[in-house]
Structure formats: structure tokens, C-alpha cells
Amino acid sequence: MTESLGAYPAEQTMASIESTPSIPFTSARPAGLSRPAPIVKGDTIGVVAPSSAAQQGWLLRGAKAMEEAGYKVILDSDIERFRRFQQREDERRAANLMAMWLNPEVKAVIGGTGGYGAVRLLPFLDPDVFRRNPKAFVGYSDITALHLWLMRRAQLRVFHGPTLDDLFPGGHDTTVLSLLSALSNPRPDTFLGEDIARCVRAGTAIGRLTGGNLSLVQQTIGTPYEIDTRDAILFLEETRDPMSVVDERLLHLRAAGLLRHVRGIVFGQLSLDRSEEDEFEDFLLDLVSDLEVPILMDFPAGHEVPNLTLPLGTEMELVADEKTGWLSYSEDALAVAEERPRLSLV
């Protein structure tokens, strides 16, 4: 790396206006994000359809995996409905999501699949529905839009993890086991990613875990639900995009001042189109190496297998040693069982 790594004029310009953000309510961090209750065997898991239509066979396979683990599954009635992405249908999908959330039988909610469309629901969602009824919500990829919205607008901890159509029955799928551990144990005693993740800058850090799919993270910039990266460990994953697009997205995060105060960076699975540049990783790290924070690559979360479940909004410890690294819980992500909140309809 060269000495020019710290000289990004756009970020230096942003520093002069950081104290006067254009959206006032993004400047103050909530006192704390609420913890959903852990699930227990026999509970019902609601499966929602905020994004693309899911394939029936994959949904049934995932439902079988959850049922084998001891849980009941309820599917959104529109989960296979063809998407037109018109306002009328956006309102319908938003209403379905809130109805599933308010169902007293449903103790946790998981996305059916990713794809596209979740961001279109946000104008039609009522933050109070989620804030007053904290439940675990899981997904990734397009679900990132809902994750970041729920953290900023409903002050709720969420989980970056598989959608239902990713799950396989049999009891030995690492993705399923990680999901069940994260949703049933307030503070799993495990080193997530150890011996799989790769250290590119050694060090340790403790901070709130946030992030998700890079393209959806970028889309929050300038919105009322802009990602809060202050004192955070930033997790990013991406799929299919060429190097130039990922490069542009990271540059946008820098220009917006959203990388300046992170405490660590974890790059998840980056299943990218690398035809533009064989040495893509050098370009990626060139954009963050001057931040002097621990950095991991190849963390097992994202669009490949396994897809470990991560508690966004929860304080985690990032350890990057000479070769590998991991994330571990520094606090509870879930409420203890006796604190299981009651459903509120008001």
C-alpha cells in the first residue's frame, strides 16, 4: 500500500460539515435497541415476503428444516405471488408483514427469500408496530433494507442470517444450526468464523455490529434510516457485482463519512464478478487500510454456504490474529426468558 491511502479529498471535505447533518434525527443514537425474546421449541416462526417471490420447493425444504428442529411455520399468503412492484402491491406486502408481526402465535419472523422489493415497503410500515412488539427478525441480501430501517426507526435488534429458502433439513446444516443458536440463546458461547475468516489487518475491537449487503447499505445514505456506523463493527457482503460497482459503493460510504468512526470491518462473502480486475482484493483493501482498524475477509456470512447468523445492533468483539479471526458476543442479543415481552396492539 502507498502513503496516499489517507488522502481522500471527499472524506476530508465531509469532516467540515459532519456536525450539521441534513437529516437532524440521524445525529442522535437511541439509548438502546430492544432485545427480542428467544424462541423455544414448539414456537411458531412466521415467514414473510417483503422481497421477491420465493420458489415453493425451496420454501417447503426450509419449512421442513425448521419443523424437524421443533418449530411450527406459518407462511405469508402472498409468499409466491408474482411481484409487480407497484404502490398498491407495496402497501399490500407491508400490511402482510405487519399482520404477521402482530400475530400473537408468531414468536420470530424470517424472510422467505431475498431478491428485490423490501425497500419499497418502508414508506408504508408503522415503526410502532415493531417497536412495541419486539421479535427476532432474520434475513439477508435485500432484507438489509428492513434490518437497517428497524434498527433506526423501531430501535430493534435484528439478525443477519439465512432466509427460509436457504435452509436444509437433516440436522447437520451449519447454516441452520447457527440460526437456531442465535435465536434461542441470548449469548452463544462461540467464536463465529474462526478458522474460516482471514485476517488482513490484525487487532481487536469491541463495538455494535451493523451492516449487511453493501448495495442496500449504500442506499440508506441520506435517508431517515441511514446506517449508524459510529463506534461500530461494520459487516459488509456482496454478490455478482463487478469490481467497479463495489469500489464506487465503498467510495460513497467514505465520502459520506460513514467509515471514519468504525472500530473494525468484517467483509463477508464477496461472490463478485472479478472479470474487470484479477487483483480485486488489493483495490478493496486500499480503500480501508488507512483506517487503522482490524479487518477480516472471507467471513462465512452472505450469499454462499455457510451463512452464519449475526446479531446486528449487538455489541460484539472482533478478533483478527495473524491468520484468522472471529466475532464473539460481548452482550446478550436476546432478552432472558422471564423478560419475554407481551404483544401490544396499541
- 0.85 cut: is pTM over it? yes
Asked if CATH classification 3.80.30.20 holds for the domain at 44-187, the reply, yes or no, is: no
- Which fold would CATH assign to domain 190-329? Glucose Oxidase; domain 1 (3.50.30)
pLDDT tens-digit readout, 83-132: 778 899 999 999 999 999 999 999 999 999 999 999 999 999 999 999 99
Q: Average pLDDT for residues 195-203, to the nearest whole number?
A: 94
d(CA 235, CA 293) in angstroms, rounded, equals 13
The phi and psi torsions of 184 (rounded to 5 degrees) equal -115, -20
Question: Residue 55's pLDDT is what?
Answer: 86
Residues of the chain with CATH 3.40.50.10740: 44-187
Band of pLDDT at residue 144, cut at 50, 70 and 90: very high
Whether residue 3 is predicted with pLDDT greater than 60 in this model: the reply is no
- pLDDT digits 0-9 by tens, 28-55: 454 589 999 999 999 999 999 999 888 8
For the chain, give every residue range classified as CATH 3.50.30.60: 190-329
Q: According to the model, what pLDDT value does residue 33 have?
A: 96
Higher pLDDT, 283 or 57: 57
pLDDT band, residue 5 (cuts 50/70/90): very low
Cα–Cα distance between 53 and 50 in angstroms, integer? 9
Give me the sheet containing 295-297, strands edge to edge: 198-201, 295-297, 264-273, 232-242, 203-213, 315-320, 325-329
**Mean pLDDT score of the chain, rounded to an integer?**
87
- Structure confidence at residue 283 (pLDDT): 74
DSSP codes joined into one string, 111-126: ES--SS-HHHHGGG--
